[in-house]
A and B are shown apart, each in its own frame.
Chain A
Amino acid sequence: MSKPDRKGDVDLESDRWCIFQGMPYVMDSAGPIEIRQSVGETIIIAERLAVPRHIYFKLDERPSSDVYDFTPVGLSTGQREGDSLVVTTDMFTAGLGLDGAPRTEKAKLVERFNVSKNGKELVVASTWTDPDVYKEPYRYSWTYERIPENYTASPNYCDPRANGVGNYPPGEDPRPGKSGN
């Protein structure tokens, strides 16, 4: 298996092709994250080429792998423990994990979300387990600064053709060596 072309947890080839990426990229390299809560779920979205995360609180049961297509953000369920939100995620597709380590279909992530400093900071303590990658659980903590409420999410638009890749109608690829150029 060839090593992915990457920068940290960013798969550069996927980035060129404007493919939405998953975890841990969503929480790390995709720009500010926005967390919004409702009774049934909390969503986490990031601004740049990131698959939205849905954290479900009310699912009767987690779907089986027979019916649920694995995704780069997996399937997340959450529960509150005191002041913490504890999120459990599995059913990840294989891909790029933290610091370029592989993320396999056996990966599981447990995150503990806590606000601190009077709501000005969010601390997310993460624990990855994956018997095919880690000898022991991989633990780390990320701290986020809160952005003022008057922030407007930056629009992000990615077209692979602007990155020198992409698909063109038959006979109309303008790149050298293509379509008879």
Chain B
Amino acid sequence: MTRMFLFSSKRLAVVASTTIAFGICNLLAANPAFAAPVSGAHPNFSGIWERIANPTKELAPPAFTPRALEALNPKLTPGQKIWSEHGIGVDDVNCLPRRQPWMLLQSAPITIVHDGDKMILLYEKRSAPMHVYIGREQPNPAPASLSLTGYSVGRWEGDELVVDSVGFADYPGHGSVTTLPFLPTTRITQRFRLAKNGEELKARFTITEPQFLKTPYVYDFTWRRLPYATNFALIELCDGRDPDRLKY
């Protein structure tokens, strides 16, 4: 039976000479602050990352347009009002997947696997992986087909990885800023860098949405590294058939 798989071409060489690579990994394990760079030229962001206490530093608060204020206070149907009063959202009861930026900012850790020219960010609760294609060009204008996670490309500026995401579809759930819907013109940029000898990951988020924000919303966010030796993702499963999800 033949199936399809993706596999980093750079990693192919590693797999072929695993005894040597594994030896190097053992030496590095003695220093948990060090993540072996894949390319050798840039930092590697692989790791399990947990947000620090007070992780957010706003550099430019959201400056909402009148349209945004309207979108933040939508007119609800009677049934929606009942749910809203009890903190129930249509995305929660139907287990709709979450996405960035919200999923990157939560108390549950995120997993980053940075492998050559690809970086994947995973949130352990129900969500879609964030795929970052390093070295690709961002289509201009934004991609015609919109999706939950949009399309993310990355480029290096020194030791910072600048990730630029566009092409978000408007689905129920958390928005680009609180509950603001995603629009085709929404753009999210993160500048990732390591700090404190690789023990911290920092990202400067810039949310641009001309229809909702008069000026870009900018904030810094910090995570700390969790050791691989004692940490693993806790998988949250969501089942919309569970009647407890509708209880209030």
Contacts and interface: CB of A to CB of B under 8 A. Distances in A.
Looking at chain B's contact residues, the main secondary structure is mixed
A142 B80 contact: no
A167 B93 contact: yes
A12 to B, nearest CB: 14
A131 B90 CA distance: 41
Given A83-B18, A169-B80, A169-B90, A41 B228 contact: yes
Nearest to A63: B232
B73 to A, nearest CB: 18
Q: How large is the interface on A (under 10, 10 to 19, 20 to 34, 35 or more residues)?
A: 35 or more
Interface in B1-16: 1-9, 11-12, 14-16
Most chain B CB inside 10 Å of its own CB: which residue of A36, A51, A54, A83:
A36
Contacts of B147: 155, 157
A80 interface: yes
Looking at chain A's contact residues, the main secondary structure is loop
B160 interface: no
Contacts of B118: 36
Interface stretch (B180-188, B213-221, B234-242): B234-242
Contacts of B4: 31-33, 144-147
Interface of A: 17-20, 27-28, 31-43, 45, 51-52, 54, 56-60, 63, 68-69, 71-73, 75, 80, 82-83, 85, 115, 119, 122, 142-147, 149, 151-153, 155-157, 159-161, 165-172
14 contacts: A18-B94, A19-B238, A20-B238, A32-B6, A39-B28, A43-B113, A45-B120, A56-B232, A60-B229, A115-B7, A153-B129, A160-B240, A167-B240, A172-B77
